[in-house]
Amino acid sequence: MSELFAPGTFTPAPGRGQLGRMLLAQAGTETRLALRNGEQVLLTLLIPVVLLVGLSVLRVVPLPEPRVNSVVPSVLALAVMSTAFTSQAIALGFDRRYGVIRRLAATALPRWLLVAGRLAAVLAVVVVQLVILGVVAALLGWRPDAAGLGWALLMVLLGCAAFGALGILLGGTLRAEMVLAVANLVWFVLLLGGGIVIPLDQLPAGIAAVAAALPSGALAEGLRAPLVAGTAPGIGPVLVLVAWAVVAGGVAVKAVRLR
């Protein structure tokens, strides 16, 4: 009877795919989607590059020379926040709206791998950002202290954990439009008042105290020590980022909804 489907086409042969292939397929697709979405690229690459060049070349904020050395930690903190928090929350909000989280949960993909795939996609975009921003900064005369690079990488990972957990919490609980509004508003507020563009020591004392306890301030400060001075980050920023990651991750595990 069937002309389209030869007999035996659908003879059952079920089973779960290999974990590595599942992770690669999901994370690879989510990375490609993030890198070809215009608004997300604006947020994750264009704005950080413009700020990196602008703050290094234009003297709008007083910074020690060479200016680019002070700008790089700010811009890397911004890049991590943009990708792990804002871009990820918005993507998750709309992914839920379009039913893809449920679609993937309906496959053999284990729940933990679903989360791991999203985080892997975030890390992949962050790697792209680090490469592009690193090259642009080098062209602007940035010569980082090699001793600090390992510490900086650790801070980037901690920043991804803290902002990623917050992004999943936000994107996984509110309606897509609300996620869009809140994620962009928080991004803007933390960029200006959260210790990213304006270092903590140049903010008013009250705001600086708050910003130091925020993931934005902690990440930017934690990057300044290794990248500007070539020293280990203070224990403060590390603890702040770990605390945000643990608390937001714990709440997210309970609160995130598939739809």
* CB 112 to another protein: min, Å: 10
Please identify, using beta-carbon distances, which residue of 21 and 59 lies nearer to another protein: 21
- Decide: 234 and 222 in contact? Cβ < 8 Å: yes
d(CA 218, CA 213): 6
Please identify, using beta-carbon distances, which residue of 111 and 143 lies nearer to another protein: 111
Two structure tokens written together for 174: 């509110």
d(CA 207, CA 45): 28
* CB 10 to another protein: min, Å: 4
d(CA 202, CA 109): 48
* CB 114 to another protein: min, Å: 10
Please identify, using beta-carbon distances, which residue of 59 and 259 lies nearer to another protein: 259
Residue length, the chain?
259
* CB 28 to another protein: min, Å: 9
- Judged by the rule CB under 8 A, the positions of this chain that interact with another protein are 1-5, 7-17, 21-22, 24-26, 29-30, 32-33, 36-37, 94-95, 97-111, 258
Q: Please, what is the Cα angle at 163 between 162 and 169, to 5 degrees?
A: 95
Please identify, using beta-carbon distances, which residue of 95 and 221 lies nearer to another protein: 95
Count the alpha carbons within 13 Å of 91 in the hemisphere toward its beta carbon. Answer: 29
